[in-house]
Structure 1
Amino acid sequence: MADYTIREYEDVDYEVVRDIFVAGMSEYVPSVCLHLLKQPWIQLTLVCLFCILLLSSKSFLLPVLAVTLLLAIGRQLLVYVWSTYIEQKLKEDLLDIRKTYMESKGSCFWVAECNGIVVATVAAMPSEKAEGELRLKRMSVRRAYRGGGIAKALTRVVMDFARQNGYTAVVLDTTVVQHEAQRLYERLGFRRDGAAAAPMLLSDVVNFVVYPYRYDIPHGELKTQ
């Protein structure tokens, strides 16, 4: 693994930062599909449909084709919903990164470079839910550069930023399919803080939940401004 450096965001990074976000989020489509297929009611629906068509048509091919078509339609619907979510985020905090993070008090955005190429991102801003908490956002590492400690280093940068700016905790959200991210945060001392439905279409129905995590900064490590 080549050496990497972490620095604050610059305007020249704008397009690559957005590309990294889109690529990272798009990678979760197969995992989300697998998660949906594991839901008992979806499995029951597919089995019932297969059996009904098999009994009514006396043909094995028809129910196979019908279930395959239904799965293909479902995947396309998921891709549409997921793409809509990504586009929404691109129009929110990632539309004007400098204004959102670099020019806002208590916020910042960092990138990791490897051989002069930006390969990872992370951001932090004050939590909208609780005063004194810093929210970690937009953590993403290009696939080819994972496993070298970049995500861990970026997380620690955010934790140090929180200490230096007097925050009492770092908080973040992960989805039910982000297993690697959950293991990373837990190794760094974060603890899971409940669960909630994801802010997406039909998330309650398909059991697609968000796991909040938090890291409470020891009082002795806080630096007052």
Structure 2
Amino acid sequence: MSGVEIREYRDGDFSTVREIFSLGMIEHVPASVVHFLKQPQSQMLLMCTFCALLASSKSFLLPVLAVTLLLAAVRQLLAYRINRFIQMCCRTDLNNIGKTYMAARDACFWVAESEGRVVGTVACLPRDSTPDCLELKRMSVRRSHRHMGVAKQLCRTVVDFTLKRGYAAVVLITAVVQIDAHKLYEGMGFRKVREFVEPDVAGKLMNFTLLEYRLDLQKDHVEKNF
């Protein structure tokens, strides 16, 4: 995309980076609610609640109100979980981006800049569980600059960095509700290697699935896809 520069993070980007990350995560709340509604156990819960109240109260209004309140509670719970994740990230790697990514070996943080404004972010760092890989993290693009190739440029930057550092692959974890991200990664040659449900109680109840993707960096394969 013309007019967009990918550059390394600077200390002055701190607030903007955290803002872009936070806004991007919060946008997943509606999709998470839809995911909840698609689950058989969720549909069974709502149907049983409606039918039980309809049979006991002989009123149509009460079960409708109850289901509406239940859905509102679910939305609040999902928003709480996402906000808790945002806060956790802001306390950990996004608390000191320079130390976590810029000063660390084989790690880096980049921003996409358009007309002097930061419009996207991405980072990578070594993954302890797979020492031959770098993990792509914190990919986010402002809504105003999506579907313009910015995310693809950011992803390519991580792949190029990983190749130069001699690692075998790029790995990443994304949520089941991030459909556009799945299309991006799969279109760039990433393959899904596993799916797993978030381990907390709410994640299990809502069947909130995380997907792990991997791009093996054989030179010929990368050049073909990029």
Range of TM-score over shorter length: over 0.9
Gap regions ≥5 residues in structure 1: none
2:195 is matched by which residue type in structure 1? Answer: A
Residue 137 in 1 paired to residue 137 in 2?
Answer: yes
Residues 27 and 175 (structure 1), Cα distance of their counterparts in 2 relative to 1, 3 Å cut: same
CA–CA distance in structure 1, aligned partners of residues 177 and 220 of structure 2 = 35
Residue 98 in 1 paired to residue 98 in 2?
Answer: yes
Percent identity for Structure 1 against Structure 2: 50
Superposed counterparts of 1:1-225, under 5 Å: 3-218=3-218
Gap regions ≥5 residues in structure 2: none
CA–CA distance in structure 2, aligned partners of residues 63 and 198 of structure 1 = 31
1:171 is matched by which residue type in structure 2? Answer: V
Cα distance, 1:9 vs. partner? 0.2
Cα distance, 1:221 vs. partner? 9.2
Q: Secondary structure at the match of 1:189?
A: coil
1:107 is matched by which residue type in structure 2? Answer: A
Cα distance, 1:127 vs. partner? 1.1
Residues 201 and 83 (structure 1), Cα distance of their counterparts in 2 relative to 1, 3 Å cut: farther
* TM-score, with length taken from structure 2: 0.94
CA–CA distance in structure 1, aligned partners of residues 140 and 51 of structure 2 = 43
Say which structure is richer in helix.
2
1:81 is matched by which residue type in structure 2? Answer: R
Q: Secondary structure at the match of 2:147?
A: coil
Residues 181 and 200 (structure 1), Cα distance of their counterparts in 2 relative to 1, 3 Å cut: farther
1:190 is matched by which residue type in structure 2? Answer: F
1:197 is matched by which residue type in structure 2? Answer: V
Cα distance, 1:74 vs. partner? 1.8
CA–CA distance in structure 1, aligned partners of residues 2 and 130 of structure 2 = 39
* TM-score, with length taken from structure 1: 0.94
The number of aligned residues is 222
Q: Secondary structure at the match of 1:172?
A: strand
CA–CA distance in structure 1, aligned partners of residues 131 and 168 of structure 2 = 9
CA–CA distance in structure 2, aligned partners of residues 221 and 67 of structure 1 = 51
2:161 is matched by which residue type in structure 1? Answer: F
1:38 is matched by which residue type in structure 2? Answer: K
Q: Secondary structure at the match of 1:31?
A: helix
Cα distance, 1:202 vs. partner? 2.3
Cα distance, 1:220 vs. partner? 7.3
CA–CA distance in structure 2, aligned partners of residues 34 and 181 of structure 1 = 17
Q: Secondary structure at the match of 1:132?
A: strand
CA–CA distance in structure 1, aligned partners of residues 198 and 154 of structure 2 = 25
1:178 is matched by which residue type in structure 2? Answer: Q
Q: Is the 8 Å Cα contact of residues 29 and 82 (structure 1) preserved in structure 2?
A: yes
CA-atom RMSD in angstroms: 1.6
Q: Is the 8 Å Cα contact of residues 163 and 217 (structure 1) preserved in structure 2?
A: yes
Q: Is the 8 Å Cα contact of residues 163 and 221 (structure 1) preserved in structure 2?
A: no
Cα distance, 1:59 vs. partner? 1.0
CA–CA distance in structure 1, aligned partners of residues 148 and 220 of structure 2 = 31
